[in-house]
DNA sequence: AGGACGATTAACT
DNA sequence: GTTAATCGTCCTG
């Protein structure tokens, strides 16, 4: 049996990757629009793991006191300040990796944290990497990084290059009515107004599954 | 040089 | 609802 979720056949060969212009916009816009896009991990050795993005958060710049950019440019967050369309991957809590998509113009520190996926290709590999029920395999920012083997080696990589190990494909266009908007989560000791800014965007995996089925002409 | 803490997760009461 | 795990990063002094 192929390690692919049966109903989810919408990823088409030869479809163009999201181009840099998609990322080179305000982080909040990218966070909204990236829902339904397909994140693809192409590992050295040929295996391919992918999933549709179900949740994302925007971190807008050094003035955003929830952002790692709040202390200015450091070795750790350097990728945030670079060209849009690159990855910013960081390590936290002594054990977890997190993936961001770098947004905005070069020199501005915008980024979008990818917080949830609906798995498509590589489900067997994902199951091997984390023993959980299927619905809980990639429903968190650290969990999806483990599923796709995203770690420090991805930090700073260009998502738009033709040889990229990680990139995005256009997936499903989501109408506003299926997108839930709210404050970002997991922020400790972050003052207002940043704590309450509605910069978290979500679509339920069930709803996205239905839309993917429809799109693929099932 | 030392210490607080984190864009989380899983396990627990 | 609470808490431990676990260590790199950034702060203070």
Question: pLDDT for A102-131, tens place per residue?
Answer: 999 999 999 999 999 999 999 999 999 999
Q: What is the pLDDT of residue A217?
A: 77
Cross-strand pairs, A59: A111
Q: What is the pLDDT of residue A7?
A: 40
Q: What is the pLDDT of residue A138?
A: 98
Q: What is the pLDDT of residue A98?
A: 98
Q: Are A39 and A166 in contact (CB under 8 A)?
A: yes
Closest-lying nucleotide for A77 based on CA to C1': C9
Q: Is the CB of A136 under 7 A from strand C?
A: no
Q: Is the CB of A80 under 7 A from strand B?
A: yes
Burial of A214 (0-12, 13-18, 19+ CB in 10 A): exposed
Q: Is the CB of A95 under 7 A from strand C?
A: yes
Q: Is the CB of A142 under 7 A from strand B?
A: yes
Q: What is the pLDDT of residue A153?
A: 98
Residues of chain A scoring pLDDT < 50 = 1-12
Q: Are A27 and A187 in contact (CB under 8 A)?
A: no
């Amino acid at each position: 049996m192929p390690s692919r979720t049966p109903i989810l056949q919408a990823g088409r060969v030869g479809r163009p990757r999201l181009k840099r212009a998609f990322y080179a916009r305000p982080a909040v816009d990218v966070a909204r629009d990236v829902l339904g896009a397909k994140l693809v991990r192409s590992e050295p050795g040929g295996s391919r793991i992918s999933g549709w993005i179900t949740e994302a958060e925007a971190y807008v710049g050094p003035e955003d006191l929830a952002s790692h950019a709040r202390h200015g440019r450091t070795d750790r967050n350097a990728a945030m300040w670079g060209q849009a369309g690159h990855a910013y991957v960081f390590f936290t809590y002594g054990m977890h990796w997190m993936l961001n998509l770098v947004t905005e113009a070069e020199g501005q520190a915008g980024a979008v944290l990818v917080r949830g996926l609906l798995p498509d290709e590589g489900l067997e590999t994902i199951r091997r990497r984390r023993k959980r029920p299927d619905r809980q395999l990639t429903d968190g920012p650290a969990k999806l990084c483990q599923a796709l083997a995203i770690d420090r080696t991805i930090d700073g990589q260009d998502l738009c290059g033709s040889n990229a190990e990680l990139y995005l494909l256009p997936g499903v266009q989501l109408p506003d009515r299926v997108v839930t908007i709210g404050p970002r989560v997991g922020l400790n000791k972050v003052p207002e107004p940043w704590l309450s800014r509605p910069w978290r965007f979500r679509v339920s995996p069930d709803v996205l599954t239905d839309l993917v089925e429809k799109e693929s002409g099932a």
